């Protein structure tokens, strides 16, 4: 299953995720059973768009796909720029989301 869950649901109470862009699981990696979790620090602008992402840990080979997806997410607006930590899980055994 592909998911992007804030770690420990530790997102700023005022910064809810409004739109998630599905993560593109590289097919060759999925077919080879390569999975893992990528942890990202997400920098969210006051308007709710993502300014930047930084890889904190996890599978380096999956990090680019995670960053491409999360950088397109949309959060609720806030009074200032905030950051949050997000984990994106790549599970080769999961069924594709429909």
Asked if residue 29 is part of any domain, the answer here is yes
pLDDT score at 96: 64
pTM listed for this prediction: 0.80
Asked if residue 13 is part of any domain, the answer here is yes
Q: Residue 28: phi, psi to the nearest 5? A: -60, -35
Asked if residue 98 is part of any domain, the answer here is no
What confidence tens digit (pLDDT) does each residue in 51-62 have? 999 999 999 999
Asked if residue 61 is part of any domain, the answer here is yes
Q: Which helix (H) or strand (E) holds 5?
A: strand 3-6
What confidence tens digit (pLDDT) does each residue in 15-29 have? 899 999 999 999 999
Provide the domain count of the chain. Answer: 1
What confidence tens digit (pLDDT) does each residue in 84-95 have? 999 999 999 887
Q: Which helix (H) or strand (E) holds 89?
A: strand 82-90
Q: Which helix (H) or strand (E) holds 88?
A: strand 82-90
Asked if residue 96 is part of any domain, the answer here is no
Asked if residue 97 is part of any domain, the answer here is no
The greatest distance separating any two alpha carbons of the chain, rounded to the nearest whole angstrom, comes to 44
- Looking at residue 28, which CATH number applies to its domain? 3.30.2420.10
Asked if residue 51 is part of any domain, the answer here is yes
């Amino acid at each position: 299953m592909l998911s992007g869950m804030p770690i420990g649901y530790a997102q700023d109470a005022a910064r809810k995720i409004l739109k998630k862009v599905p993560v593109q699981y590289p097919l060759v990696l999925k077919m080879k059973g390569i999975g893992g979790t990528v942890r990202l620090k997400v920098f969210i602008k006051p308007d709710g768009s993502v300014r930047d992402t930084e890889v904190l840990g996890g599978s380096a080979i999956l990090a680019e796909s995670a960053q491409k997806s999360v950088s397109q997410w949309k959060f609720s607006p806030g009074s200032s720029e905030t950051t949050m930590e997000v984990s994106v899980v790549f599970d080769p055994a999961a069924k594709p989301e429909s």
